[in-house]
Amino acid sequence: MATVSSLPSDPAERHRAVAGRFTELVRGVTDWDAPTPVPDWAARDVVRHLVEWFPGFLESGSDVRLQRGPSVDEDPVAAWETHATAVQAVLDDPVAAAGMYSSPHTGDLPVDQATDRFYTADAFLHTWDLARSTGQDDTLDAATCAEMLAGMQPIEDLMRASGQYGPAVPVSDHASSQDRLLGFIGRDPAWRPPTG
């Protein structure tokens, strides 16, 4: 019997849930220099990644221009909150959400669908990185993990070729959907911050 996702299917509401969870984690960070499961990234860099890549993505294929906050180095919490609020405002605006995003790589998609497929999914995955790095609850929605893995497996070669994903990390045949997804995208589900 399939597990039902606790995340909404509507792009605006799914972003609200994913970004809301990420905001809780951001506010709970006590060491922004903490190492993360992503090689050479500190906790601050997880936020930096999400805040910095998506505005350019939208600008390259649509008329959407997101409000920018302070730099992540200056104030990672405010940088994230400003960014997340700006993305949510686009998704909550029926005209902006229905606008077209066009790219040679993706084809033509409504802005809300492009955001959901490429950005909200990325924020969902990086939730684990930030949580595991900073000792917070790193549980991801199991059904969403299973759905994402099922969608990624048929395009594995394309994903690996993009350079955005490391080699798959083997996991047990009995691993949870979360651990299978993490292993697939190149994360070691057993990773813990170094001690001492």
CATH number at residue 35: 1.20.120.450
Residues 64 and 147 in one domain: no
Whole-number average pLDDT of the chain: 94
Is 189 within 8 Å of 183 (Cβ atoms)? yes
Predicted confidence at residue 3, as pLDDT, reads: 54
Say if 15 falls within a structural domain. yes
Residues 109 and 119 in one domain: yes
Residues 157 and 127 in one domain: no
pLDDT digits (tens, 9 = 90+) for 6-33: 889 999 999 999 999 999 999 999 999 9
Residues 110 and 183 in one domain: no
Predicted confidence at residue 191, as pLDDT, reads: 96
Q: Name the band, by pLDDT with cuts 50, 70 and 90, for residue 158.
A: confident
Q: What 3 state SS string does 25-74 have?
A: HHHHCCCCCCECCCCCCEHHHHHHHHHHHHHHHHHHHCCCCCCCCCCCCC
Residues 118 and 152 in one domain: no
Residues 70 and 157 in one domain: no
pLDDT digits (tens, 9 = 90+) for 23-65: 999 999 999 999 999 999 999 999 999 999 999 999 999 999 9
- Residue 127 in tokens: 């939730």
Is 62 within 8 Å of 95 (Cβ atoms)? no
0.75 cut: is pTM over it? yes
Section 127-150 average pLDDT: 96
Residues 117 and 175 in one domain: no
5 CB-near residues (< 8 Å, 6+ apart): 141, 143, 144, 147
Predicted confidence at residue 173, as pLDDT, reads: 87
Residues 104 and 116 in one domain: yes
Where does 107-169 show beta strands of DSSP type E?
Answer: 107-110
- Residue 118 in tokens: 């490429």
Predicted confidence at residue 1, as pLDDT, reads: 40
Considering only residues 4 and 188, tell me which one the structure prediction assigns the higher pLDDT: 188
Q: How many domains does the chain have?
A: 2
Q: What is the enclosing helix (H) or strand (E) of 103?
A: strand 100-103
Classify 101 as helix, strand or coil.
strand
Say if 5 falls within a structural domain. no
Is 50 within 8 Å of 122 (Cβ atoms)? yes
- Residue 48 in tokens: 């930096």
Domain containing residue 159: 141-196
- Cα separation, 51 vs 34, whole angstroms: 18
